Amino acid sequence: MPIPSSAPSRPELIDHLVQTRIAGNVATPRDNNLSHYRKLANGDRHYWLGLELSDRWADEQDVLAVMAERCGVIDDPEHRVGQDTIDPELTVGALDRMAAELRKAAEAGARVLFATGHPGGLLDVHRATAAALRAAGCEIVEIPGGLEADEGYVFQFADVAVLERGATLWHTHSPAPMAAILDGLAREGRPLPDLVVADHGWAGCAGQRGIKAVGYADCNDPALFLGEAEGTLAAVVPLDDHVTNPRFYDPMTAYLLDAAGLTAQF
């Protein structure tokens, strides 16, 4: 897929999201979604993504209701197996909310930290957004050196914090790498970010620490949507976070940056 020369319109982006299965009928199966909702409701902290959720989510049906509202999964609790969905209208609406936060950050010349636990899918989405904010005058936070978490190393690649193990960028839901960054900044007496743009536990940990955070989440990762419902995260974009070709996210990134008044830096 060629890199877009201009941002798609809203209808064009919605069509693209459905065609590439970033939204619409996504690959994540229904039984996997419901299993994760149940484990979160039962208190399994792996699925809380660094958040301290209130006891209002102890019933998996309440989790499902929020996921239907904010992500667009099928709201029928009797639908147990087969296909599940992400509403592309909700994806684009959340992109607009994220764009508003990026615009405010650019206007303020804010300190912004980018991080991903899904480097195989979302690394370049974050990289292009960081480049656009840097060009607009923001400070992209440089993380401290020598950080370790979860038996790996935390470092930056193309302005995006990632977890590395065995010379491989690691897929992780853990909040520990973000905690290592924030604690490392504090040890060095450096200011914390004004905004974190991330996913998985990287976003959850930042929001839980009181930092304004926006992020991306799949339909089997309900915690960030619950954090948005509680006001801990500012915006969460529902999408399949690892489709077959990472270039499929380019039109989405172009739309996001255009909506934020930023020049795309592909």
- The string of pLDDT tens digits covering residues 123-140 is 999 999 999 999 999 999
Residue entry with tokens 């299993």: 35
Beta bridge partners of 115: 161
Identify the DSSP state of 9.
P
Residue entry with tokens 């993380």: 143
- pLDDT higher than threshold 70 for residue 243: yes
Residue entry with tokens 């020369």: 5
Beta bridge partners of 198: 215
Greater model confidence, 54 or 15: 15
Q: Can you give the pTM of this predicted structure?
A: 0.96
210-215 long-range contacts (CB < 8 A, ≥24 apart) are 211/182, 212/101, 214/97, 214/98, 214/101, 214/102
Cα 146 from Cα 138, distance rounded (Å): 24
What tens digit of pLDDT does each residue of 185-237 get? 999 999 999 999 999 999 999 999 999 999 999 999 999 999 999 999 999 99
- pLDDT higher than threshold 70 for residue 4: no
- pLDDT higher than threshold 60 for residue 1: no
What are the tokens at 248?
A: 């499929």
What are the tokens at 180?
A: 């290592």
As a whole number of Å, the CA-based R_g of the chain is 17
- pLDDT higher than threshold 70 for residue 17: yes
Average pLDDT, the chain: 96
- pLDDT higher than threshold 70 for residue 114: yes
| Residue 6 pLDDT class (50, 70, 90 cuts) | confident
Helix axes 223-230, 200-208, angle to 10 degrees: 30
Amino acid identity, residue 139? E
What SS3 class is residue 137? coil
| Residue 2 pLDDT class (50, 70, 90 cuts) | low
Question: What is the mean pLDDT of the segment spanning 68-96?
Answer: 96
**pLDDT cut 90: percent of the chain above it:** 95
| Residue 5 pLDDT class (50, 70, 90 cuts) | low
What SS3 class is residue 19? helix
Cα 109 from Cα 112, distance rounded (Å): 9
